[in-house]
Amino acid sequence: MPVLNEQGSPIVKASINGHPVAFIVDTGSLITAIWPQQVDKLGLYSTFRQVQLRGVGGDTLGTVVTARAMGLGAATVSDVSFVSVGKMMDGRAINGIPVAGLLGADFLSSYDVVFDLPNHQVNLYDVRGCKGLIPRWSGGFYSVPTDEDHIDQTKIIVRVKLDGHPMDAILDSGAQHTLITTDDAGGAGVTKADLAKDHKGIGFGIDDEKLVRFMHRFESFQIGPFHFEHPVMSVSETDHSLLGAEFLRRHRVWIPRARNEIFVQPTGPFTPIDSPATAPADAASGRNKPE
């Protein structure tokens, strides 16, 4: 699927009941959502069933709605359910196409998802029944271990280090930028007094409420063999740290449906720190082929 935008979370083209729309691809969202003001415009019908959602910023309620048909890439499916929720992104358009909602993990987790944002592509592969698959990328790539959340198994949890402090971050393509919780920042030695000296910004959570974010310069940030010196990242009072879309914009990332690792390939010159736990795999030879 071609990615329509150059920065931030990837946006792809789709159709709802024959209407051209665009969706944000959001690995951090449990549900596939559509903005409430788009429901009538696109001819969706309500089931009048409500669900409670929890995300960055707190809790909110959404209503389940259904589309007769949804087109995505070369495929069309019938009777697709969405959760009608959110307002902040409603009214946004790209290339004249309205951004109607987001594709969440309830949809994405059925596929191997490949983010090739340097080449403006997101690809979905149905590989059920296939074992030992690796990306057929030209050049080397790395395997980065992941964990699952015991409550929400669609979450992709990556072990990272912040100023040498180990912590977990959710791989969230719907977050434009990486976000660090105040607890994780504190674990890395950043105090409230340190944050008080930082520039403040405003973000928005799932309930559209404002979140204060502090733009803090850390000493280092490490993901597997990938090491970043003196990054400036947002710090906020949230439940989970997020690894955002700016990482995906600079790396190819393959997320297998059977999730105990992701594959990451740098798109520019790269020298790994130390000796990575998994040496670079060669796509042609199949070295480091997962079991």
Q: What is the pLDDT of residue 286?
A: 35
pTM score > 0.75 for this model?
Answer: yes
User: Is the pLDDT reported for residue 279 higher than 50?
Assistant: no
C-alpha to C-alpha distance for 146 and 97, rounded to whole angstroms: 35
What is the maximal distance between C-alpha atoms in the chain?
55
Instruction: Note the pLDDT tens digit of each residue in 205-226.
Output: 554 556 789 999 999 999 999 9
Instruction: Note the pLDDT tens digit of each residue in 175-213.
Output: 999 999 999 999 999 999 999 999 988 765 554 556 789
Who contacts 259 (Cβ-Cβ below 8 Å, separation ≥6)?
A: 146, 148, 156
For residue 34, CA distances in Å to 52, 241, 244 come to 15, 25, 21
Phi and psi torsions of 19, nearest 5°? -90, 130
Mean pLDDT value across residues 117-145: 82
The whole-angstrom distance between residue 27's C-alpha and the CA centroid of its chain comes to 4
Q: What is the pLDDT of residue 43?
A: 95
Q: What is the pLDDT of residue 58?
A: 57
The type of residue at 269 is P
Q: Which helix (H) or strand (E) holds 255?
A: strand 251-255
Q: What is the pLDDT of residue 260?
A: 86
> Three-state SS for 107?
helix
User: Is the pLDDT reported for residue 242 higher than 70?
Assistant: yes
Question: Which contacts of 49-52 are long-range, i.e. CB under 8 A and separated by 24 or more positions?
Answer: 51/83
User: Is the pLDDT reported for residue 284 higher than 50?
Assistant: no
Q: Which domains does the chain have, with CATH numbers?
A: 11-112 (2.40.70.10), 134-282 (2.40.70.10)
Instruction: Note the pLDDT tens digit of each residue in 63-76.
Output: 899 999 999 988 88
> Three-state SS for 11?
strand
Q: What is the pLDDT of residue 42?
A: 95
